[in-house]
Amino acid sequence: MDEQINMIKTGIEGLDDLIGGGIPFANQVVLAGGPGAGKTLLSFEILYRNAKMGNKGIYFSLEESEGKLVSNLKSTFSQFTDVDDLIKKKIIIVEGRQISAELSNRPSETEHEFGNIVSQMESMIFKESAKLIIVDSSAILSLLVQTPLMYRRLMLALSSNFRRLGVTTILIVESNNLERSKVEFKPEYFIFDGIIMMYQNGKQEKRTTGIEVIKMRGAKHSFYTAPYEITSSGIKISPITDQI
């Protein structure tokens, strides 16, 4: 990817409209939502769409193995028939590590392990010359830190280091509240350059979905909450109806 490009398009038409054309280059972005909102699917599709444009990306999964993650994604996005080929060509790189399972055997972790994980990420980013990074998820990283203050400091360092490397990063953040009216802001929301929220509103049998850009430094984004649905050919976001 040419470093002179100042926007990285997500490749998802409705999402690029919401952002104002794409994610500003080297922005660090939070993608937040509750369980089942589609955070992993959306972030992987952004990686996939960029790979189709020839832009190399890395998906760092801290909760699942590479095989399980890719299998689940291909099962949902069944029309993404060239995923294996893109992975084989290393345009998409999936790095899986089940840290959650490791923690059960090592309950007294410290921020030293946090630093090791980030260092490994940085080494791979540099080695592969990748410019688009997905980190899934912050929940695992938070388990490695003993105090909220130290977690905030380490997340500041992570964001700063990734920005220094010139990568655009999407950090997946779990939200305890599914609905827009009940969102609680976490430390990452203030540290990172952008926040994209995925909501599930209403009762289980009548739940509706919505996606909103809360902030995006360097972009004139929309404040519209757009409905979306997950299909075999990707996530479909309804066109915005307000002016950006």
d(CA 131, CA 74): 23
**In the prediction, which pLDDT does 106 show?**
56
Would the pLDDT of 87 be above 80? yes
Taking Cα atoms as reference points, which of 77, 55, 146, 135 lies closest to residue 109? 146
Entry pTM: 0.89
Sequence spans of domains, the chain: 27-206
- Match 């309804």 to its residue by tokens: 238
Instruction: Give the model confidence (pLDDT) of 26-35 as tens digits.
Output: 999 999 998 8
d(CA 50, CA 71): 20
Would the pLDDT of 100 be above 60? no
Q: How many CA atoms lie within 13 A of 161 on its CB side?
A: 17
Instruction: Tell me whether strands 7-8 and 28-33 are parallel, antiparallel or unpaired.
Output: unpaired
Would the pLDDT of 127 be above 90? yes
**In the prediction, which pLDDT does 141 show?**
87
- 47 pLDDT band, cuts 50/70/90, is very high
- 192 pLDDT band, cuts 50/70/90, is very high
Instruction: Give the model confidence (pLDDT) of 200-236 as tens digits.
Output: 877 666 778 999 999 999 999 998 999 999 999 999 9
CATH class of segment(s) 27-206? alpha beta
